[in-house]
């Protein structure tokens, strides 16, 4: 119940005595608080409708009314209803002035209507609203329970909740991070776990859920036109369903981890075991080797729950989904998606949740060979992007991942080993110099500036590199050979890191 609805009741005939704005009159009423105490705030919790007749309140000093209303505003109360014609012929001017000063609505009720009739109407209305909220909350819980029984995602549950409470609904994890939301663009900054005060006709409310095994406590965050009390009642029963879903997802994720890790480690080997064995690993991980597959590659974050959080976010796009961390990268494998929109949908989701986090999203891949090539190439492709990006169909890392045999890889590594050995034995930085030189498109000026060295020092280093490698870095052939060898070296380093992890 809101103050403007109370004012609109012709039976009561309330009159607004303060110059209160319309938005302030839409503040909800939690209950009625009849009191004649000069200091009632110890018995108030917030949003009460304070009613009084001013008995023993024959104040002549306006500062007394100011202090009285200021204390009520700090609670804060929804408003004040003053019954004139009992102890005061009219509402005291000091009370009206204080209501204007502290933005507390002051309303007048006068004979033949009295405060008991106001109390009865407000309490009956609140009881009716509470019954309606209870019915709605149970219906919402039933709808979400049916979704859970059929196999749903956290995003579908949030959308169902949003359809009832309105506004925006999100899931906050134990670190205060938004895991998923509807709409996906929702941002949450409220740090106080208690319900926030209404702002611009919108209430921000946080409802804690039961702890999830191994993942801490989650909360449902809501930004809605409903009152905090109504939101808390609506979210009570359905919160148990969301907690159940999160626990089930966490348990399933734990069981999938080992199978996904074995698959990813196998795919990250340029020439792994037989195709039959790789197909078996893929089926064990819940995928069909014959179906189109999308691979998403991002760098691992510092958050231990990063991969599980991403699983919740991607579940709505990929019905068949697996995530694994390997060698400093997080790999997401998805199937059973909408082929027409999946790369764009994944990039859009990643852009909303982490716009500056480099990520490579492939087009639908067909066959294990394409999946393996993408898994080998994507870590190197990450070095050249600054945000979520659809993978190029043809570039140097993808060419190397598909074209080089094991002998070719070994030859590339042997080509650069003299440089690596020299750096180790002499504590020099020739490998880094070569990398910077090629990254600067073989520009001596830009390379020297990037390394903070003199052009003469750079010239000496480049000559020494050419001697050790047996090529001239001033020719296209020498630069191309070194570029390809470095790409293979980086790819091989990533594989070694994956094997160690």
Helix (H, G, I), strand (E, B) or coil at 242: helix
Domain boundary pick from 329, 359, 392: 392
Shared domain for 348 and 420, answered yes or no, is no
In a domain, 257, yes or no: no
In a domain, 70, yes or no: yes
Shared domain for 238 and 284, answered yes or no, is no
Q: Which helix (H) or strand (E) holds 235?
A: helix 228-267
Task: Indicate which CATH number applies to the domain containing 488.
Answer: 1.10.10.2840
- Please tell me the total count of domains within the chain: 4
CA distances in angstroms from 170 to 96, 180, 188, listed in the order given = 41, 6, 8
CB-CB neighbours of 490 under 10 Å: 16
What is this structure's pTM? 0.58
Shared domain for 296 and 363, answered yes or no, is yes
In a domain, 159, yes or no: yes
pLDDT of 194: 43
Distance (Å, whole) CA 494 – CA 125: 66
pLDDT along the chain (501 residues), means of 10: 88 91 86 92 90 88 92 93 92 93 93 91 91 93 91 88 92 83 80 46 85 81 86 91 86 76 84 77 91 91 70 84 85 89 88 83 88 83 86 68 62 86 92 92 92 92 91 87 83 59 51
Q: What is the pLDDT of residues 94-126, one digit of tens each?
A: 999 999 999 999 999 999 999 999 999 999 999
Enclosing domain of residue 289: 270-392
In a domain, 126, yes or no: no
Shared domain for 212 and 162, answered yes or no, is yes
Shared domain for 383 and 330, answered yes or no, is yes
pLDDT of 96: 93
The residues, any chain, with a CB within 8 Å of residue 467's CB and separated by 6 or more, are none
Q: What is the pLDDT of residues 42-52, one digit of tens each?
A: 899 888 999 99
Shared domain for 80 and 106, answered yes or no, is yes
Shared domain for 297 and 229, answered yes or no, is no
Domain boundary pick from 362, 392, 422: 392
Domain boundary pick from 392, 427, 453: 392
In a domain, 451, yes or no: yes
Burial of 96 (0-12, 13-18, 19+ CB in 10 A): buried
Shared domain for 386 and 444, answered yes or no, is no
Task: Indicate which CATH number applies to the domain containing 88.
Answer: 3.40.1390.20
Contact 381, 392 (CB under 8 A): yes
Task: Indicate which CATH number applies to the domain containing 277.
Answer: 3.30.70
pLDDT of 304: 62
In a domain, 263, yes or no: no
In a domain, 231, yes or no: yes
Shared domain for 245 and 164, answered yes or no, is yes
Distance (Å, whole) CA 484 – CA 469: 13
Q: What is the pLDDT of residues 140-164, one digit of tens each?
A: 999 999 998 888 888 889 999 999 9
In a domain, 195, yes or no: no
Helix (H, G, I), strand (E, B) or coil at 390: strand
């Amino acid at each position: 119940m809101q103050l403007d609805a109370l004012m609109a009741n012709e039976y009561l005939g309330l009159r607004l005595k303060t110059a209160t704005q319309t938005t302030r009159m839409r503040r909800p009423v939690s209950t009625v608080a009849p009191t004649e105490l000069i200091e009632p705030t110890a018995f108030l919790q917030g949003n009460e409708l304070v009613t009084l007749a001013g008995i023993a309140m024959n104040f002549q000093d306006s500062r007394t009314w100011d202090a009285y209303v200021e204390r009520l505003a700090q609670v804060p109360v929804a408003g004040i209803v003053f019954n004139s014609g009992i102890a005061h012929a009219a509402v005291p001017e000091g009370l009206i002035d204080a209501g204007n000063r502290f933005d507390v609505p002051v309303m007048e009720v006068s004979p033949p209507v009295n405060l008991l009739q106001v109390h009865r109407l407000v309490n009956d209305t609140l009881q009716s609203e509470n019954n309606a909220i209870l019915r709605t909350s149970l219906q919402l819980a039933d709808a979400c329970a049916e979704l859970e029984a059929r196999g749903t995602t956290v995003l579908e549950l949030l959308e169902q909740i949003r359809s009832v409470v309105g506004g925006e609904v999100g899931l906050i994890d134990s670190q205060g991070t938004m895991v998923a939301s509807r709409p996906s663009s929702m941002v949450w900054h409220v740090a106080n776990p208690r319900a926030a005060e209404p702002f611009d006709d919108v209430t921000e409310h946080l409802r804690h859920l039961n702890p999830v095994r191994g993942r801490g406590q989650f909360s449902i965050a809501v930004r809605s036109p409903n009152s905090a009390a109504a939101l808390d009642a609506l979210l009570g029963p359905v919160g148990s369903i969301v907690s159940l879903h999160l626990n089930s997802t966490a348990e399933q994720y734990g069981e999938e981890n080992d199978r996904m890790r074995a698959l990813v480690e196998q795919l990250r080997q340029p020439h792994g075991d037989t195709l039959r064995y790789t197909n078996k690993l893929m089926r064990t991980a819940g995928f069909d080797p014959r179906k189109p597959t999308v691979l998403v590659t991002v760098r691992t974050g510092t958050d231990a729950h990063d991969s599980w959080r991403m699983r919740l976010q991607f579940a709505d796009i990929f019905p068949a989904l697996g995530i694994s961390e390997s060698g400093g990268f997080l790999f997401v494998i998805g199937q059973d998606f909408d082929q027409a929109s999946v790369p764009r949908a994944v990039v859009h989701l990643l852009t909303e949740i982490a716009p500056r986090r480099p990520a490579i999203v492939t087009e639908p891949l067909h066959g294990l060979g394409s999946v393996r090539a993408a898994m080998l190439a994507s870590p190197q492709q990450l070095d050249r992007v600054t945000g979520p990006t659809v993978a190029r169909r043809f570039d140097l890392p993808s060419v190397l991942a598909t074209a080089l045999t094991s002998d070719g890889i070994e030859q590339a590594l042997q080509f650069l080993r003299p440089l690596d050995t020299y750096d180790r034995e002499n504590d020099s930085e020739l490998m880094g110099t070569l990398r910077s030189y090629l990254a600067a498109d073989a520009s001596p000026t830009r390379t020297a500036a990037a390394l903070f060295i003199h052009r003469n020092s750079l010239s000496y280093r480049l000559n020494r590199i050419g001697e050790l490698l047996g090529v001239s870095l001033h020719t296209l052939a020498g630069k191309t050979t070194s570029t390809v060898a470095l790409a293979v070296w980086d790819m091989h380093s990533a594989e070694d890191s994956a094997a160690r992890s």
